[in-house]
Structure 1
């Protein structure tokens, strides 16, 4: 049975612009070929930049010691004897060390069992039958935002589930994928809870602040109040963009679905019950391993969010959170007879990742070459210098800072790496005119989040393309970018408006954190 969505006439200048982006992007070669071309371009540009002796001087925070040190970074040519040797000798480690690779494959071991036994499908049908259709988009976006508590796990779990949920509702699966991706990545600086990124950015902000005022401290909760408000704003904006812009543009989905939504059968209900019991048991075990001050999965210092085995092991923990209920569901419902069935489901999940592995290999080489060449660092420092040289003050300067952070994010994906470069410039500069490091950090996070979803340099961009190609083999970089641009622009606009309102009323950013010194 084909799933149809309402056909809407694609008019207006903005839709025409998105159509052009999609057409031009999709006329480019296959994403694998495109990343090969990008890699060759970086090699050539690095040689030209190094030949012209391009370099930058700046103060940088050492992310291990927290100390500020003077740095000089010059463009490095990859067309040298050392560069060519490195290209060949480190190709394998570039691939095996590619951050999303292990995350995706380990998580898929658990997700594959949950899918193979039928748990995911039954749980989704239960969700479809119990959730009002009007709220499902907001639920997907909100779940994506909340998933960033678990760092990158949302990319692997929530994004493909978003597509499946929309398909179950008879809606375009790529709209569900886009909504989840927008929440997970575009909403990376919104949450109701403190995420793994907060202590990391706070530490860098603190080190930069101490350049101007020794002893200044920045807490992990420095932006918490603003993040809570942002969660509801981004959920609302993401819902509107999905339903009013993205889904109408996608039009009718002609792929196959499972037909009408069936009720939950007796065996499935029994399986869901035992899956729920097993998940509760797993949750209680994890509480025992994390809650006590001397718990096994805490760090030696007793912390849970920083340097702990819990944070380091989130991916296998999430894999087990799918694997264990999946096995219990399979045994109770009859889809698992023995251990061979479980191993078979894992193998099937891995076999479906072949296309992604090819894409990950070439993408990992491109990201590595870009880092080796120092081109991203040079662009970041030059962008900061340009903004500082404008002489703007007040809200115009802060908005300019947000835009520069968003632009630099197109070239350096790591939020902490960019902040290690930008914080020593902007935190002391804005402290001198009366703005707190917490406020400067907040402005940076807005820019950093909003362009995550439109840059191929984002580590998980290749992963999202691979997920999308499951529903449309023709999906390329152009399709994904044109789909996500409305989210990027609307998130940026909404966040800037919220930022200005927060500034105008002088609201606290978090517990004990304010806008002005």
Structure 2
């Protein structure tokens, strides 16, 4: 691997250079939230003084702007500070899943499963296998970047193809296809966990599960896979030409090209049996009379909502059990103390996110206390309703706004924590479900990841590329990835518009449209 560091990267020029320079001037997301909180406090003082208000069309509640420096709100802020953090929905869900995912990652299950899938892929379908494995590997968190992308280059070289084409396909799938997967996981829990409290600003009883975008994320896999396949095989690889190892370029390490060992295969068998056991257990609990996963009093489409809301626990326990089973079979676990250590290490990796969550949690809570979010949402929705913009066009605007912010701010949760309290309630009042708004945001957040040098893994991917060609610079990587990013954006816009036009379900029991439980009324604004 090359020892190129971000500080040694050649400066980009033109539009890309502008993005890089502007993004580098932005403060850390933690301080972005801090400045947003300061601005919101000032705005709450103005709103309370001028008497800003609106009527919630769902609950008919009169919404009044509240000063965040009032005695009541200061009490909530200072005395309730620990509770504000603890009540931040994404934090608990993500930590729960990480307990299990950390075991699956550190025992070697994720890495071995990814290697096995890629190394055994038939050459004729090598590219689509890399893409699908890359998207599914999002469950492995950072391992998807440090395993899938360099390994894709290795197996392309072993198959007689250009390794940088494999690297590009892997990068496009892992990062550009971040919105896609075959099953919900930690990223769904994180983003949809932010969506629910935003929806509560309009409808306090609204429930969101991590399966709320399940069908949509599978759709992303189905749409993006042929795009990457075509671009890699027909555009990128011909452009790269025939690969000739440069002088001084070392061949891939032997262990990177070797098939799985007998003990690794044994571990996978143990993990597979454990997975089947977990699926059988969840199925049995669902079918038992009086199952907690079934709500017999709900509408037919909502009967299994408790099951969908249990998926965070299911994935946490499943990752733990399958990871432990792999560790026993592959001898990467020696005692129960290893499991405890692995869970602790997994939580330690979350430290930067937990720091960010503290400020994001208080931003969301204070936005709620001020009353500014629903007031802004009600009045903005009224203005948009007067414009009579088609629903697909409204959601396309969310995709584009998300794309723009993604060029400068890499954290998906940070952006959504700031945007959700505004756009989710606003679009609910326009008849669009919180899950559909979230899906549009996720699409925009995903497609431009590979187009911005500010993405945290960009220097790492460049280092992987320079391992094969030391002359491959920042501009080379940008030029290689831009066709993917442009195609993803066009396809993503079409997909979001088509999803709305065809009124397709986003997940089990979740549709495009939101129907409020009470008749809407015209908003009233004072100020």
TM-score, normalised via structure 1 length: 0.63
Tell me, yes or no, if the aligned pair for 1:111 and 1:319 is still in contact at 8 Å: yes
- Equivalences for residues 469-488 of structure 1 within 5 A: none
Aligned residue number for residue 131 of structure 2: 138
Task: Name the CA distance, whole Å, in 1 between partners of 2:332 and 2:316.
Answer: 20
The one-character-per-residue Cα deviations of 1:28-71 (angstroms, maximum 9, x if unpaired) are 223323322222222222222322322233512xxxxxxxx324
How far does the alpha carbon of each residue in 1:413-461 deviate from its partner, in whole angstroms, 9 at most, with x for none?
797996665455x45xxxxxxxxx9xx9998677555456699xxxxxx
Superposed, 1:289-328 pairs within 5 Å as 289-291=285-287, 294-295=290-291, 297-299=293-295, 301=297, 306=303, 309-328=306-325
3-state SS of 1:56 partner: strand
Question: How far apart, in 1, do the equivalents of 2:29 and 2:494 lie?
Answer: 36
- Quote the Cα distance in structure 2 between the aligned partners of 1:514 and 1:325: 35
Q: Distance in 1 between matches of 2:323 and 2:178?
A: 24
Mapping for residues 439-478 of structure 1, pairs under 5 Å? 447=440, 449-451=442-444
Equivalent position of 2:47 in the other structure: 49
What CA distance in whole angstroms lies between the structure 2 residues aligned with 1:507 and 1:118? 42
For the residues of structure 1 that align with 2:483 and 2:39, how far apart are their CA atoms?
28
Pairing of 1:64-463 with structure 2 (within 5 A): 69-131=59-121, 133-136=126-129, 138-139=131-132, 143=136, 157=139, 159-163=141-145, 164-170=147-153, 179-180=173-174, 183=177, 185=179, 232-233=222-223, 235-236=225-226, 261=256, 262-291=258-287, 294-295=290-291, 297-299=293-295, 301=297, 306=303, 309-390=306-387, 397-403=390-396, 422-424=427-429, 426-427=430-431, 447=440, 449-451=442-444
Runs of 5+ consecutive residues of structure 2 not aligned to the other structure:
154-163, 204-212, 240-251, 403-414, 449-453, 462-477, 514-527
Distance 2:371 2:178 in 1: 28
| CA spacing shift, 1:490–1:84, aligned 2, 3 Å | farther
Contact 2:380 2:426 (C-alpha < 8 Å) held by counterparts? no
**RMSD of aligned C-alpha atoms?**
5.4
CA distance in 2, matches of 1:83, 1:323: 41
Q: Distance in 2 between matches of 1:390 and 1:343?
A: 57
Give the direction of change, closer, same or farther, for the CA distance of 1:283–1:230 in structure 2 (3 Å limit).
Answer: closer
2:57 match: secondary structure: strand
Residues 134 and 148, structure 2, Cα contact 8 Å, conserved in 1:
no
- The verdict on how the C-alpha distance between 1:126 and 1:348 changes in structure 2, with shifts beyond 3 A counting, is same
- Contact residue 58 and residue 71 of structure 1 kept, 8 A: yes
Task: Specify whether residues 343 and 400 from structure 1 end up closer, same or farther in structure 2 by C-alpha distance, changes over 3 A only.
Answer: closer
In 2 relative to 1, CA 239–39 (structure 1 residues): closer, same or farther, beyond 3 Å?
farther
Partners of 2:272 and 2:322 within 8 A in 1: yes
Distance 1:184 1:326, change over 3 A: same
1:29-40 correspondence runs (5 A): 29-40=27-38
How many residues were matched structurally? 421
SS at match of 1:387: helix
Contact 1:274 1:332 (C-alpha < 8 Å) held by counterparts? yes
Say if 1:162 and 1:179, in contact at 8 Å, map to a contact too.
no
After alignment, is 48-57 or 340-349 more displaced? 48-57
Query: Does the CA contact (< 8 Å) of 1:46 and 1:375 recur in 2?
Result: yes
SS of 2:294 mapped into structure 1:
coil
> Structure 1 CA distance, aligned partners of 2:230 and 2:11?
17
Residue 236 of structure 1: how far off its partner (Å)? 4.9
